[in-house]
Amino acid sequence: MKTYTKYRKTIKVTYLFTTCAIFFAALFFAPVFSGLKSEGENWFAVSLNGQPVGSCADLDLMDGLVADARRQLASDDGELVYIPAEVTAEGKEVLFGQVDTRQQLAEAVLSIMQDSVQETLKHAYTIKINEYTVNLGSSQDVLDLLETVLKQYDTRDEYEVELVVDPDRELNVLTTSIVRKDEGEKTLRTAGEGAGVESFFDELFEEVEPDVSMRDFGNLDYGLVGIEFGDTVEIVDAYLPENEISTLEEAVAQVTADQQKEQIYEVQAGDTLSQIAEDNGLPMDDLIAINPSLEDENSTIRTGDELIITVPEPELSVIHQERVYTEDSYDAPVEYIDNDSWYTTKSEVRQQPSAGFRKAAAVVTYRNDTELSEEVVKEEVVYEAVPMVIERGTKVPPTFIKPISGGRLSSNYGRRSAPTKGASTNHQGVDWATPTGTAVMASSGGTVTRAGWASGYGYVVYIQHEGGRETRYGHLSRVLVSVGERVEQGEKIALSGNTGRSTGPHLHFELRINGASVNPFDYLQ
């Protein structure tokens, strides 16, 4: 009992000292334990990019910690650093929970984000040409690219490209303006405005050379007189990974290389599918494949139809105008004299032509190397061309129809073996085998000139038509018309039979023009 009393004071002091030491250590090194308000989920186990960070009572704290870590990891040269940061949390409601200190959470966030750095984004410029894009590292590279495209046609270095803010866009988007170096503010409209480009060139010519037609050919300036990009160009600032930024050489190669681009071709009079395919360097199968309206190479096309074709063209096209001088022979348009008493199949030359000779200055518009149009601005005829004069018929010739319905072709027009003794080996018509009594109709309207027996033809009908044409129907069983009677096309004139020199029931049909037989199949509808 005495021993306890002796050491009691010493034990008490030691206990108090140890308790205080543990308490202060907990304040600095141990997790925080706090009472939490009961308002649903109030304690969260937080992860960043799938890795555990710690625990906290307020998720808003994580947004600030992530932002602080981004600032610490930002590139010293101002370039953007790409670091993904996906915060996830599992929450629950507790009355008393352990949470990490802000310092502990901040250190964990910084460590995870350091490991998550993927790449540095560099300042660049994205050039958009229609649907094509390319990225360059500086505005000078952008200008160099555009100047390179322009100088393919501006060989005398008379124009330059400027980057200007596009007034039609709400965002800070740049576009191009091409200016003539000796005119400063003279700019062209974009080619996308269609007629606007032509309007500009017209105004330009009026201001610079108002009396072109009055000047001598030798005093005119020839060569490039206007130039503009043929596609809409847009340029925007961007921050991109270095591997997505092209060098100037790569961009020039991409933008100037020919690509197969679709265009619309309007069918002209006299066009054929094979000629359209050949003129545009397209295999026939490819032309058919890209045009849903075409089934095969025999599909019908009409003047004014629109077909899709592909043509080689660079990503960025240039529309340019050249003033050129030409000397050439020329032909005058053919002059016609209409003759209402002639059929359209008849024509005669009344005057032979003679070529003329002229000098001209013209402005030719090109898209890249393809000529779009030509406008003559000054012309001098040295001597006039003499036109060809043709007299031509205006009357539509009569049409002919098959004189019977059905029947089997049993003998064609022209050379043949004689079917019976005494029959001709030069068949002057066509034969259709058909049962006796088949209705025979007038192939075309006209006047009956013979109706009755005709030796080897048996019973016949001859009909005279306009333009010296005549049809003959032979081997009939019965004649239903009389000489001098006027008949209309398709009118029933006889019944087929087997009369005269014949090997069986059939109809013999002839077509003669000015007394000479022709192949009826060349005229039948």
pLDDT tens digits, residue range 87-112?
A: 999 998 888 778 999 999 999 999 99
pLDDT tens digits, residue range 143-165?
A: 999 999 999 999 999 999 999 98
Q: Looking at residue 480, what is its pLDDT? A: 96
Q: Looking at residue 119, what is its pLDDT? A: 67
Write the class of the CATH domain 323-395: mainly beta
Q: Could you give the residue ranges of the DSSP H alpha helices within 359-446?
A: none
Evaluate whether the domain defined by 408-522 bears CATH number 3.10.20.30. no
Between helix 60-73 and helix 102-116 the angle, nearest 10°, is 50
Write down the CATH superfamily of domain 258-314.
LysM domain (3.10.350.10)
- Regions of the chain where pLDDT drops below 70: 1-39, 75-80, 118-119, 170-171, 183-214, 416-425
Specify the pairing of strand 306-314 against strand 258-266: antiparallel
Cα separation of the two ends of the chain? 144
Residue 135 · residue 248 · CB < 8 Å: no
Residue 235 · residue 173 · CB < 8 Å: yes
The one-letter amino acid code at 422 reads G
Q: Delimit the domains of the chain by residue range.
A: 32-117, 258-314, 323-395, 408-522
Size of the chain, expressed as the number of residues it contains: 525
Closest CA to 36 of 91, 90, 89, 96: 96
CA 145 from chain centre, in angstroms, equals 25
Q: How many CA atoms lie within 13 A of 166 on its CB side?
A: 15
Residues of 395-416 as b/e, b for ≥16 C-beta within 10 angstroms? eebbebebbbeebeebbebeee
